[in-house]
Amino acid sequence: MKNFLALALTLFLGVLLILSLTGNTQFTTFGTDNTDNRVSSEYISKGAAVAIIYGVTNDPESGPANIVTSIVVDYRSFDTLGEVTVLFISALGVALLIGSGAKQKRLSLNFKPNFMLRVGSRALFGIIMMTGVYITLHGHLTPGGGFPGGAMIASSILLLYLADDEFRSKIKGFKILEGAAGSLYVILGLLGLVLATYFLQNFLPNGTVGNLFSSGIIPIVYILIGLKVGSEISGVIDNFLTEEDAL
């Protein structure tokens, strides 16, 4: 009886969604709208009347060549601060629910890692960590940025956890790094308020579009976000792998 009621309710919701979007004049058909009619035309043209050319244009309104980066970190940087706060709250919740002191043993698995796994994981750990750092640093020129770069750094540490039975990272160092990176993001925003007009404004010069050292504080913000996300997810994985007390 409950299954039938749930099926009827969800089918009704699906039919309602599809019918309300099909004949609508304001919801255009898939792929046929032009971005000139939307607000994104201001984000693409960066408010200038002439075209922005890679490697030639000097000091545009916002520096990155990757337009999604300029939206996430420059135009709507306050939403990114909110997202960093939500991640921090979830990592805090996991540490409160599961985490215990630093004296617990590792959760022991049923198999012992052999020689090939232990040696090969050391080599792969370096490659994955270097790829994560590269993607974080070049967030304003190529796709990527702080969030996938930080997740890759956490993946490399997950590899070390899986390959070795006794590995426990220094949890205190990670917590200090996470707190410092989060506070530095807010301090950068307050510096923008003091040195320029508003909170989180770009107060360093923008440079030429396409150089590595360009677009003001945006690479610095992405490095801070990468460090914070990486150390947070590593802390969550370590909390999941500790053994609880004997009941």
Partner 1 sequence: MIQYAAILLIVLGLYGLLTNRNVIKMIVSLNVMEIGLNIFIISVGFVYDGIAPILTSTNSSSALLFVDPLPQALVLTAIVIGVGTTALGLAIAKNIYSKYGTFNLDEVEEK
Partner 2 sequence: MTLFDIISIVVSVLLLVIAFLALNSKKLINAIVFLSGLSMLAVVAFVLMKAPDVALTEAVIGSGLVTSLFIFTLLSVKKGEAK
Interface ranges with partner 1 (CB under 8 A): 2-3, 6-7, 9-11, 13-14, 17-18, 30-35, 38-40, 43-46, 51-55, 65-68, 71-72, 76, 79-80, 83, 86-87, 89-91, 93-94, 97-98, 142-143, 147, 209-210, 229, 233, 236, 239-240, 244
In the complex with partner 2, the residue whose CB is nearer, 90 or 183, is 90
In the complex with partner 2, the residue whose CB is nearer, 63 or 226, is 226
Binding residues (CB under 8 A) for partner 2: these are: 66, 68-69, 107, 109, 135, 143-145, 147-148, 151-152, 154-155, 158, 233, 236-237, 240-241
The sign of the CA dihedral 191, 196, 202, 206 is: negative
- Partner that binds at residue 234, options partner 2, partner 1, none, CB closer than 5 to 8 Å by kind: none
State in angstroms the smallest separation of the CB of 244 from partner 2: 8
Closest to 185 in 3D by CA, of 96, 92, 79 = 79
Which residues, including other chains, have CB under 8 Å from residue 234's CB and lie 6 or more apart?
Answer: 153, 154, 157, 158, 169, 174
Closest to 219 in 3D by CA, of 154, 127, 149 = 149
Angle at 218 between CA 214 and CA 222, to 5 degrees: 125
The phi, psi pair for 106, rounded to 5°, reads -75, 150
